[in-house]
Chain A
Amino acid sequence: MILLLVVSAVTFAIFFLLPRMAGQTADQLAQQYIGKSPSKADILAVKHNLGLDQPLYVQYWHFIKGIVAGATYDLGPTTAHCNAPCFGYSFKTHEAVWPQLTSRLPVTVSLAAGAAVMWLISGVAVGVVSALKPRSFFDRAFMGVALAGVSLPMFFTGNLAILLFTYQWPIFGRTYVPFTENPAQWANTLFPAWCSLALLYSAIYARLTRSGMLETMNEDFIRTARAKGLRERNVVVRHGLRAALTPIITVFGMDLGLLLGGALITETVFSLHGVGQYAVQAIDDNDLPPILGVTLLAAFFVVIANLLVDLLYAAADPRVRLS
């Protein structure tokens, strides 16, 4: 909680305080949200409506209050009420940020979760096999692919996947369908995005697993396990992989947390209306509240992911458990 408060204060300061310190006035900020050639009165009115005429600490207080108690925006003939948690109100589209985030979150979660499953399975599996047969053909080939995967940018692999699998050979669907509507269609349209994203990430996991496994498989306890006459599968999975898993869980937690806060490039390439795309649009529009909202959401997920990682540590590594 305190952590989130600190994060929110820092984020708020970054977006609202820094530009002001760099010399941007509230007038200039407000002017960005009006059409061509606004009059002074127009700028004043917009500034007032967006609350930009108040001191920064008051603006921050309103922002924090909105998260806890909701906020009311009085614009034109109607009053818009933004229920708690209200993460602000877009300067540009005049939409509350929170409903936009929640409506887009399922897309981002679908993308992140599907890709995570893929990269975890493929990355770890490739890493293990490579480690068990170091310098073999498999090892070299997989590591080569992994290296390519981590080097190729998403706008290349993503666009290539779209070109090949939705246009050249139309195997996969083009428009996102929610999971609740049609799970098969959902997976079908997301598959190329999952693959492209997994390609990017699994390379890191393959390399991490490989090096971790190479190290643990040479440990004394592995030799002991083998000497006890355990099946090789058990030696590899139960003893080797489990010990090598800790750093992977750490990285996985961070990656997934960050990704849940929006996969900016992937969502843009695959035209997915997720949180990341919302952030991109807000950045384009210089629309501060949505950027702030997305940043906080990402921070929230990273914090949660870290917590889960700590819990998983205990499950994976008995040494970490509290006695």
Chain B
Amino acid sequence: MEGNPPIMRRSALAAVAAIGSACLLVAGCSKADDNKNDDNNTKAAGANAATKDVVNASTKKGGTVTYELSDVPDSFDPGNTYYAYMYNLSRLYARPLMTFQPGAGEKGNTLVPDLAASKGVPSDGGKTWTYKLRSGLKYQDGSPITSKDVKYAVERSNFARDVLSLGPNYFQQFMAGGDKYKGPYKDKSAKGLSSIETPDDTTIVFKLKTAFQEFDYLVAAPQTAPVPQAKDTGVDYVKNIVSSGSYKFQSYSEGKQAVLVRNENWDAKTDPLRKQYPDKIVVNLKVNAETIDKDVLAGDAIDLGGTGVQAATQAQLLASADKKAGTDNTYGGRLVYMAINTKVKPFDKVECRKAVQYAIDKVSVQTAEGGPIRGDVASTVLPPDIPGYEKSDVYASAGNKGDAAKAKEQLKACGKSSISTNISARSDRPQEIDAATAIINSLKKVGINASLKQYPSGKYFTDYAGVPKFTEKQNIGLIMMQWGADWPSGYGFLQQILNGSAIGESGNTNLSQYDNKDVNALLEKAIGTEDMTARNSLYTEIDKKTMDDAVLVPLTYFKVLLARPQNATNLVSTAAFSGQYDYLNIGTTKK
């Protein structure tokens, strides 16, 4: 034993070291068989196919559809969420009074009754809205859904903001007496909010403060999906959501995963929209963004957030025509723009604002934002996927590269030869910083010197750009901004950014501090106008007026690049949910 030559032992030790360092090298494992490409996969339908029509249309049932999200949603509770993708997904287990017809692009903006049997019937000039529920509606436990549950859902989601604080509170703003009612957790009276009436179990009547002709859009929010009061546990309801849709929760694990399975008590006869194709729907949360891209490209998952692929994946997809055929480059219902602060001198003068409009080379901004894939050059306030959009370009320049001569002319008319100001952008959004830098370079050429001020996005509106006093004090004349509507209409888009009455001391989104009586009146007139075509033409008019007043510079119509998972069926990119695929009827070809 003792006589063994020492060299052998050292080699033995070396062998251990070698095995250990196989790990070190990460490359120790032999290559397995190359990914077996099953030929059953449907061939890519062509670039942007899902923005024109349904891709992989199929009525095949069964299988599991997996959604992945790199983040966690604010909440799965339909009464406590504000994300477009949750508005989209929650419809699988929570049926609102109205919803959007699954359809490609702008066709997806069509409102259709969901829990309601037909669209809302307005009376009193649009101040009262009556909805009749479909008959035979049931919860997952088989108990009947009544109009009282819809009323309760609206009350809990809008009036108990100390408990469910994450969703919007439009009902609180628009319902008669909405400012006084304290919500169902504090106000235990059986009557609840008196301006929502439920004369019988299938009728619900909303009484508003003022005429609101787009009320059907408001009730398309998941906040109108019924919640049985007896089962409501406030913030904990998210753990035991009672389904009214085609799927119900099998499991829910906070911040990790949700699994949905077929709801046996959902009846196809009560629902013309949902088809209940897959057996199971799995939602995985906090998945690494790169991993999501790979899973999507492997055909195994759908990106729930619908914000498009990562930069590296984008480059890879666009480099090959084959891969590009499996993508959808679609509008995200958003405008990237720069607000001109009308309360900061010299931008109180329209000529000075026009000088900025002419000076900016929008192509350089588009390039900074990520090129044409990430957005088309914009010239109107309303993006093309919002009703009311009409093509126009008041400050047109050759190739959208800016017109220095005209800009200087306007500057002269404004009585200035040079301007010194600040431009604000969000420090944690590199593309926004790049875009602002491109703007600074454009402006410099005509004598407008802007310095960049960066603020964190989490406090951009509460502490900085959204605080008029702050912007005035800091001489911030130009403010970088992105805006998407809460519902796809001119009012939903324009109200918060152009209405003079929307200017707030903090959290302000009317960053231009634009307070034009005509525009305010037009907005009010529009929302009280019943005829949709007439209403939309009013939005177009507002758009034009705003551009004539030059209070904001539209930069790009935001676009996303979605990769289409090959195994997913019934994919259609809808404008109603920021260009995301409509999640109502996605199935899978996989078993």
The interface of chain A, by Cβ under 8 A from chain B, is 28, 31-39, 42, 45-46, 48-49, 75-78, 80, 93-95, 100, 103, 118, 121-123, 125-126, 128-129, 132-133, 138, 142, 145-146, 149, 157, 159-165, 167-171, 174-175, 192, 194-196, 198-199, 202-203, 229, 231-233, 236, 268-271, 273, 277-278, 281, 284, 286
Contacts of B82 in A (CB 8 A): 35-36
Contact B291–A125 (Cβ < 8 Å): no
Most chain A CB within 10 A, of B74, B162, B254, B504, is at: B162
A38 to B268, alpha carbons, bound, how many Å?
39
Binds A, one of B11-19, B97-105, B130-138, B558-566: B11-19
Q: Which of A34, A162, A236 contacts B161 (CB 8 A)?
A: A34
Contact B20–A122 (Cβ < 8 Å): yes
Contacts of A233 in B (CB 8 A): 6, 9
Q: Which of A77, A118, A232 contacts B185 (CB 8 A)?
A: A77
B321 CB within 8 Å of chain A: no
Task: Count residues of B near A (Cβ-Cβ below 8 Å).
Answer: 64
Q: Which of B13, B17, B295 contacts A122 (CB 8 A)?
A: B17
Contact B161–A77 (Cβ < 8 Å): no
A145 to B163, alpha carbons, bound, how many Å?
54
Listed A/B pairs (14) with beta-carbon separation below 8 Å: A34-B165, A35-B165, A38-B165, A42-B165, A77-B185, A78-B236, A142-B21, A142-B24, A161-B26, A162-B288, A167-B35, A168-B35, A229-B2, A277-B286
B591 CB within 8 Å of chain A: no
Q: Which of B21, B74, B164, B507 contacts A145 (CB 8 A)?
A: B21
Q: Which of A48, A142, A203 contacts B162 (CB 8 A)?
A: A48
Contact A93–B254 (Cβ < 8 Å): yes
Shortest CB-to-CB span from B124 to chain A, Å, is 27
Contact B162–A80 (Cβ < 8 Å): no
B547 CB within 8 Å of chain A: no
Contacts of B31 in A (CB 8 A): 169
Q: Which of B2, B14, B75 contacts A129 (CB 8 A)?
A: B14
B62 CB within 8 Å of chain A: no
Binds A, one of B227-235, B360-368, B414-422, B569-577: B227-235
New A-B contacts (19) at CB < 8 Å, excluding given A35-B166, A195-B23, A271-B284: A35-B82, A38-B165, A45-B162, A46-B162, A75-B163, A76-B185, A78-B234, A80-B236, A93-B75, A100-B255, A103-B253, A118-B23, A126-B17, A128-B17, A142-B17, A145-B21, A167-B294, A194-B23, A273-B256
Shortest CB-to-CB span from B427 to chain A, Å, is 15
Contact A281/B233 with A37-B504, A49-B162, A138-B14 known, Cβ cut-off 8 Å: no
Contact A199–B163 (Cβ < 8 Å): no
A145 to B298, alpha carbons, bound, how many Å?
32
Contacts of B190 in A (CB 8 A): none
Main secondary structure of the interface of A (DSSP, over half): helix
B375 CB within 8 Å of chain A: no
Shortest CB-to-CB span from B232 to chain A, Å, is 6
Shortest CB-to-CB span from B239 to chain A, Å, is 9
Contact B165–A278 (Cβ < 8 Å): no
Contact A126/B162 with A160-B26, A165-B29, A171-B29 known, Cβ cut-off 8 Å: no
Contact B298–A167 (Cβ < 8 Å): yes
Contacts of A146 in B (CB 8 A): 24
Contact A76–B255 (Cβ < 8 Å): no
Most chain B CB within 10 A, of A32, A35, A123, A171, is at: A35
Contact B168–A36 (Cβ < 8 Å): yes
Contacts of B29 in A (CB 8 A): 165, 169, 171
Contact A273–B286 (Cβ < 8 Å): yes
Contact B286–A271 (Cβ < 8 Å): yes
Shortest CB-to-CB span from A56 to chain B, Å, is 21
Shortest CB-to-CB span from B240 to chain A, Å, is 11
A53 to B13, alpha carbons, bound, how many Å?
64
Contact A157–B26 (Cβ < 8 Å): yes
Most chain A CB within 10 A, of B33, B75, B165, B298, is at: B165
Contacts of A37 in B (CB 8 A): 504, 507, 509
Contacts of B26 in A (CB 8 A): 157, 160-161, 164, 192, 195-196, 199
Q: Which of A31, A80, A133, A199 contacts B24 (CB 8 A)?
A: A199
Name which residue of chain B comes closest to A284, CB basis: B71
A273 to B287, alpha carbons, bound, how many Å?
9
A160 to B291, alpha carbons, bound, how many Å?
11
Shortest CB-to-CB span from A137 to chain B, Å, is 11
Contact B20–A46 (Cβ < 8 Å): no
Contact A121/B20 with A37-B507, A170-B32 known, Cβ cut-off 8 Å: yes
Contact A125–B13 (Cβ < 8 Å): yes
Q: Which of B24, B165, B167 contacts A149 (CB 8 A)?
A: B24
